[in-house]
Chain A
Amino acid sequence: MPLGDSGPAVVPGDATKSLLIAAIKHTDGLEMPPKKKLTDKQISDFVLWVDSGAIDPRESKGESQSLPTKKTKSTDHWAYKQPSLPVIPTVADQNWATTDIDRFIAIGHEQGGVKRNGDATPEVLVRRLYFDLTGLPPTSQDVKTFVELCSKDLQQAIQSTVDQLLSSERFGERWGRHWLDVARFAESSGKETNFSYPHAWRYRDYVIDSFNRDLPFDQFIREQLAGDLLPANDDQRRAELMVATGFLALGSKSHIERNKKQFEMDVVDEQIDTVTQAFMGVTVACARCHDHKFDPIPQSDYYALAGIFRSTETLYGTIPVIQNNNPSQLVSLPAGADVTINADRLTDTARQSLEKQINELRQKRLELTRKKQFASSEFVQSGILLATLEAKLKAYEADGTPKKLAMGVRDRSKARDSELFIRGEVDKPGEVVPRGFVSVLCSTQPKLPSESSGRLELADWIASTDNPLTARVMVNRVWQHLFGRGLVDTPDNFGVSGSNPSHPELLDYLALTFIEEDKWSVKSLIRRIVSSRVYQLDSATNPENFAVDPDNKLLWRVPPRRLDAEEIRDAMFLVSGILEPERPIGSVVATGGEGYTGGIERFGLLSESKFKCRSVYLPVIRGRAFESMDVFDGVDGSMVVGKRDQTTVPTQSLYLLNSPYVMDLATSAAKRVAEEERLPKDRVRWIYEVMLGREPSAQEVESALAFIDKAKAQSAPTGRLVARLRSPNAEQTAWAAYCQSVWASGEFLVRK
């Protein structure tokens, strides 16, 4: 309920704590209406309304009715209670289930009256495993090996393949990307002006490495929130921990904001929003201006957390130019750390030339200042250039080696509690709220130290086994990436307005085994889930089941999913034989230095055709996603995204059919096909095996060859077309058109 200046007017479910009731009863010195007291009957109606949850009747009409009105007290909400280890259900069909996970699912099948699918074929299963665990399709050899292994021992085949995939570097690139979505990773500020964050890529690499090293998830949380406050034995480790805190620094920012306090509170708000959604699936940022409308999160909780982040200094860089009123320092990584450097040494000549330019600009600006020409474009432009060059010079040590810089945070010299801002307005400070955590999730508020921010304590509390949400939220994220839909379908919102879990016991079982048996190992959790029988189910639809459970909540099948943007691009590159699998050093955003992102754009550094790396390493400029990502619902780091859209829209078709970028790729694929096989029918077979992971039927070969013939006839080389496709002949054009058609087909775009 709206918070007045003296506290909440109504506490749903509790009339005795509601000021409104006190006021209409004329107790506690508040008298409303002031002159004439309501009748006893009217008052008791109000009491009844508040005690029964103070439901807003307006919510039950119109389109906005998306939130169920709950009669239970919101503190009773399932997600705020500790998970408890459920009894493993006994199922009628003893033969199907191979793991405990299966028993939780099977009991749902039995009780829900659905007949689950049979097992997927090995060809389907291997493609599923490869895409899900590494984001890349299996090679035709991988498929053959797996099918062969399966013929001997299916379970063994799965285990060894899963182990192999989990230990591949490609795993971290896939699962790191999932986390980067949640961590709203990007390399620019976004918002109204778009400044480069040239050091953000270090955090990207840290995330990928952490998944590959299988850093326990609780430790991963601590490092991202408070790495700077954790002990480190050496410079190397210290550097890693500092880079991890980039998590807090790389959110979107309105650098143009003139009001410093507003800027500070907006940065803090972004941090609270990200931290609470990412780790705990609660939307605390809703309580910036008033108590949370649905969840038992009072506005004071928000400002208790705000105190922690206001006692923290966020270091994101950027330069002091027009439209940036809020530049900051960066984190200097310890000298002894062996970290990636993606710049060359600054030679003495280059330094002298830089210094000369800087001096000239300073002189010029002095002159303009004398003439009071502050609004001249010359003054503005020279200011931008000067700041850019000064930042460039500052990026090097005195001896010319590039400084080791990162984004991150550190504690301010003094910790302070934050005042609560009435209606979230920074010029309306209210009472000071002691720093603390989300009250509904902890039995007592902690006593935070006065000499440090309390961030370490916050990290420990979020990562503790006692937090009812952290493990549940993470296992749910993992489940969602493997089954297309979480056990809770709103992965970033476990609150009252989120979805209820489809399998609450399974969710708790997974959360508790994740903590106790897996010791927060994400790889163990994934292995546990993909080893289940339910993960092996075929993805076909079935009208009877559909009639009962159209959303497949009971998991009678593994739902097919459209590949995501990274998978589509990476797969096209891989099958064309031109994917560069190694991690690029740093990022082109870094080579552009500090300044507006417009700069790197003008230098042509953001031309998509320049990149042959995996998609996770493409530069991420907020509001300027690459077409290959944007078209297929990729994210640009503007907000926390636990679940991407999965649209099927005509712009994707136009992209696949007409984009010169895809056509160039198809030409590469056609060249590779020509190198691999000579006979047309062998080429078709090769394409099916490599691109679709199966052999073609005789009819499919036939229609492919018919297409090639027609295409050859129609691509009689006219000058313009050849130039466009860089194809030397009709033969290659025809095969390119064929490969491209395969990419636009449903079978290529879907992991079943």
Chain B
Amino acid sequence: MSSFPQAFTSRRSFLRSVSYGFGAVAFTAMQRSQAIGADASSLSPRKPHFEPRAKRVLMLCMEGGPSHVDTFDYKPLLEQRDGKPIGKGKVPNGRLMKSPWNFEQSGESGLWISDLYRELRSHADKLCLINSMQCDIPAHPPAFVQMHTGISTSPRPSMGAWVLNGLGTENQNLPGFITISPPPGVGGSVNYGSAFLPASFQATRIGSNKQPIAKAQVANLKSPRPSTLQQEQLQLIRSMNHSAQQRDPDNSFLDGLMEAHELAYRMQGELPEVIDLAKESSNTNSLYGIDRPETADFGRQCLMARRLLEAGVRFVEVCHGGWDQHRNLKEDHAEHAGATDKPIAGLLADLESRGLLKDTLVLWGGEFGRTPYAQIDDGRDHNHTGFTTWMAGGGVKGGMRYGATDEFGYEAVDNKMHIHDWHATILHLLGLDHEQLTFPHAGRDMRLTDVKGNVHLDLLA
């Protein structure tokens, strides 16, 4: 709860204190939804289309394209054919490159996971590896935008905005969609924007991946004035609006404005506390790897995300970038996996112990994977025809490997999961039918999945 004193009484008692007309409270509430649009009220929780398996989403975004054949898609043939041409695809004479990392089977399920994600091995039985991912274009910006919005060629709402459109959010003192440390490039705010959906569905951004999360702030969340002065200000604004309301009793804008000011004030009280990690125990810090420099940043992001989800935020995205290893794969992939492995393992353990994992859908993945053949000596090129993401928690089968690429890991061949299918399946887990979740714009009913997308039911628990 907020440590700030409440400057306002509740909206209801405020309205009661304003004497005008009969049934004014109900009337104003009704009118407000007309006058200020669906925005303010439409964040209130809504029933999904059908019984959901997950109630909230945490997306662990790996910007740059992590190599699937070095992490979660084990291809023993690469070792046997190391240095030989792949003999297929766009670059038939591309020389296959064995993974520099050892793979091991883990958990009861025996999922193959490489040494890059050693810590995560202990959670293998929670993971549903999707080895058959595909997207449309092997270039970062369009692929990244497609991963977030379905279509890269026109501004479309981000998945998180669609989820708010479908479900609203649980905690009205906090934003419903938060993105932590997103990259400013590769489409920028489009990736967490609301496009033609109401503006209140866009994500609130905390920091950017150009700065450590420990230094990040939410825009304007902190008052530079002494809090007593700000309370006086709010009191003054309230009395000004009150007197304006006496002149024009049913002016619904004033009501909406006061509600927004009040909510802002509550956010200002509650959000800093939710994202303040200072009081976390050293046990928690070490669980997330916050006590070690190489894992501290992503660990903080994950812990902040967990706190936000627990506080009732519907959709949280965290981001670790830099996976684009055209060269220097061995060193740099080790660094990026090293930065994320421990925090993710800690996060899954924490979510489970708090009883949150069962209805929190955790997503891991980048905009595409990397080629099984080498580029320069020690690197891999972009590969969008087959790559891996994984899901955990919220109603997905753990310890499962879903779909498959060919013998080299070049191209998805079995149970192909296009990004549209991925989106459709995520919405399905949240109890939303991707064909029914529409919004009229530019003459037609728009969807996250455009005119495509199939739900893959086999990976549901």
Q: Which residues of A contact B (CB under 8 A)?
A: 62-64, 66-67, 190-194, 252, 254, 256, 258, 266, 273, 277, 282-283, 285-286, 292-295, 323, 375, 492-493, 495, 497-498, 539-543, 546, 550-551, 559-560, 562, 598, 623-624, 627, 633, 638-640, 645-655, 657-660, 663, 697, 699-700, 703-704, 707, 710-711, 714-715, 721, 724-725, 737-738, 740-742, 744-747, 749-750, 752
Binds A, one of B248-256, B307-315, B405-413: B248-256
B451 nearest CB across to chain A (Å): 8
**Would A645 and B199 count as touching, CB distance under 8 A?**
yes
The reply on B376 being an interface residue by CB < 8 A is yes
Given A623-B189, A714-B226, output 20 extra A-B contacts at Cβ < 8 Å.
A256-B139, A277-B442, A293-B444, A323-B141, A497-B444, A498-B443, A540-B248, A540-B249, A540-B251, A541-B252, A550-B30, A624-B188, A648-B39, A650-B260, A653-B257, A653-B261, A657-B233, A703-B236, A746-B240, A746-B257
Cα distance A294–B263 when bound, in Å?
41
Cα distance A724–B34 when bound, in Å?
40
**Would B233 and A737 count as touching, CB distance under 8 A?**
yes
**Would B443 and A649 count as touching, CB distance under 8 A?**
no
**Would A651 and B34 count as touching, CB distance under 8 A?**
no
Cα distance A275–B219 when bound, in Å?
37
On chain B, the residues within 8 Å of A645 by CB distance are: 37, 39, 198-199
B234 nearest CB across to chain A (Å): 8
On chain B, the residues within 8 Å of A649 by CB distance are: 39-40, 199-200, 260
Cα distance A624–B190 when bound, in Å?
10
Residue of A nearest to B141 (CB): A192
The reply on B267 being an interface residue by CB < 8 A is yes
A265 nearest CB across to chain B (Å): 11
**Would A654 and B268 count as touching, CB distance under 8 A?**
yes
The reply on B185 being an interface residue by CB < 8 A is yes
Known: A256-B141, A639-B196. A62 touches B436 (CB 8 A): yes
On chain A, the residues within 8 Å of B251 by CB distance are: 540-541, 560, 746
On chain A, the residues within 8 Å of B140 by CB distance are: 192
**Would A724 and B220 count as touching, CB distance under 8 A?**
no
Interface size bucket, B side?
Answer: 35 or more
On chain A, the residues within 8 Å of B141 by CB distance are: 191-193, 256, 323
On chain A, the residues within 8 Å of B433 by CB distance are: 62
The reply on B5 being an interface residue by CB < 8 A is no
A516 nearest CB across to chain B (Å): 30
**Would B153 and A659 count as touching, CB distance under 8 A?**
no
The reply on B237 being an interface residue by CB < 8 A is yes
The reply on B171 being an interface residue by CB < 8 A is no
5 pairs, A vs B, C-beta closer than 8 Å = A192-B145, A277-B442, A283-B442, A651-B264, A737-B225
On chain B, the residues within 8 Å of A752 by CB distance are: 248
Residue of A nearest to B376 (CB): A375
By DSSP majority rule, is chain A's interface helix, strand, loop, or mixed?
loop
**Option from B230, B440, B445 in Cβ contact (under 8 Å) with A657:** B230
Interface string of B315-328 (1 = CB under 8 A from A): 00000000000110
B315 nearest CB across to chain A (Å): 17
Q: Which of B36, B236, B239 neighbours the largest number of chain A CB atoms within 10 Å of its CB?
A: B236
Q: Which residues of B contact A (CB under 8 A)?
A: 21, 27, 30-31, 34-37, 39-40, 49, 139-142, 144-145, 152-155, 185-190, 193, 195-196, 198-200, 204, 219-226, 228-230, 232-234, 236-237, 239-241, 243-244, 248-254, 256-261, 263-265, 267-268, 326-327, 375-376, 379, 433, 435-438, 440, 442-445
Cα distance A286–B258 when bound, in Å?
41
Known: A550-B34, A648-B253. A283 touches B248 (CB 8 A): no
**Would A659 and B220 count as touching, CB distance under 8 A?**
yes
Closest 4 interchain pairs by CB?
A: A192-B141, A283-B443, A653-B264, A541-B250
On chain A, the residues within 8 Å of B189 by CB distance are: 623-624
B201 nearest CB across to chain A (Å): 10
Known: A551-B34, A699-B243. A721 touches B226 (CB 8 A): yes
**Would A650 and B142 count as touching, CB distance under 8 A?**
no
**Would B229 and A192 count as touching, CB distance under 8 A?**
no
A48 nearest CB across to chain B (Å): 26
B205 nearest CB across to chain A (Å): 11
B161 nearest CB across to chain A (Å): 13
**Would A707 and B232 count as touching, CB distance under 8 A?**
yes
A720 nearest CB across to chain B (Å): 9
B204 nearest CB across to chain A (Å): 7
**Option from B185, B260, B443 in Cβ contact (under 8 Å) with A495:** B443
B338 nearest CB across to chain A (Å): 22
Known: A256-B141, A745-B237. A654 touches B257 (CB 8 A): no
A69 nearest CB across to chain B (Å): 13
**Would A648 and B260 count as touching, CB distance under 8 A?**
yes
Residue of B nearest to A372 (CB): B376
Cα distance A707–B264 when bound, in Å?
21
**Would B153 and A497 count as touching, CB distance under 8 A?**
no
Residue of A nearest to B49 (CB): A62
Q: Which of A194, A252, A663, A725 neighbours the largest number of chain B CB atoms within 10 Å of its CB?
A: A194
Residue of A nearest to B146 (CB): A192
